[in-house]
Structure 1
Amino acid sequence: MKIVGIAACTSGIAHTYIAKEKLMKAAQALGHTAHIETQGTIGTEDELTAEEIKEADVVIIAADIKISGRDRFNGKKIVEVPTNMVIKAPKGLINKIADELEK
Structure 2
Amino acid sequence: MKIVAVTSCATGIAHSYMSAEAIKKVCKAHGHQVKVEIQGAMGIENELSKSEIEGADMIVFANDVGISKSERFAKVKDKILKLTPHEVIKNPEVIFKSV
Deviation at 1:57, TM superposition (A): 0.8
Q: Deviations over 1:74-94 (max 9, x none)?
A: 232111111000001112x23
Aligned length: 97
- Structure 2 Cα separation of the partners of residues 81 and 94 of structure 1: 8
Question: Which residue does 1:14 correspond to in 2?
Answer: 14
Runs of 4+ in 1 over 3 A off after TM superposition: none
Unaligned runs of 5+ in 1: 99-103
Check the 8 A contact 1:37/1:45 in 2, yes or no. Answer: yes
Question: Which residue does 1:43 correspond to in 2?
Answer: 43
**TM-score normalised to structure 2 length:** 0.91
Please report the RMSD computed on the Cα atoms of aligned residues, expressed in angstroms: 1.0
Question: Which residue does 2:90 correspond to in 1?
Answer: 88
Q: Report SS of the residue matched to 1:24.
A: helix
- Structure 1 Cα separation of the partners of residues 3 and 73 of structure 2: 12
Deviation at 1:64, TM superposition (A): 0.7
Unaligned runs of 5+ in 2: none
Question: Which residue does 1:24 correspond to in 2?
Answer: 24
- Structure 2 Cα separation of the partners of residues 66 and 33 of structure 1: 25
Question: Which residue does 2:80 correspond to in 1?
Answer: 78
**TM-score normalised to structure 1 length:** 0.88
- Structure 2 Cα separation of the partners of residues 21 and 35 of structure 1: 10
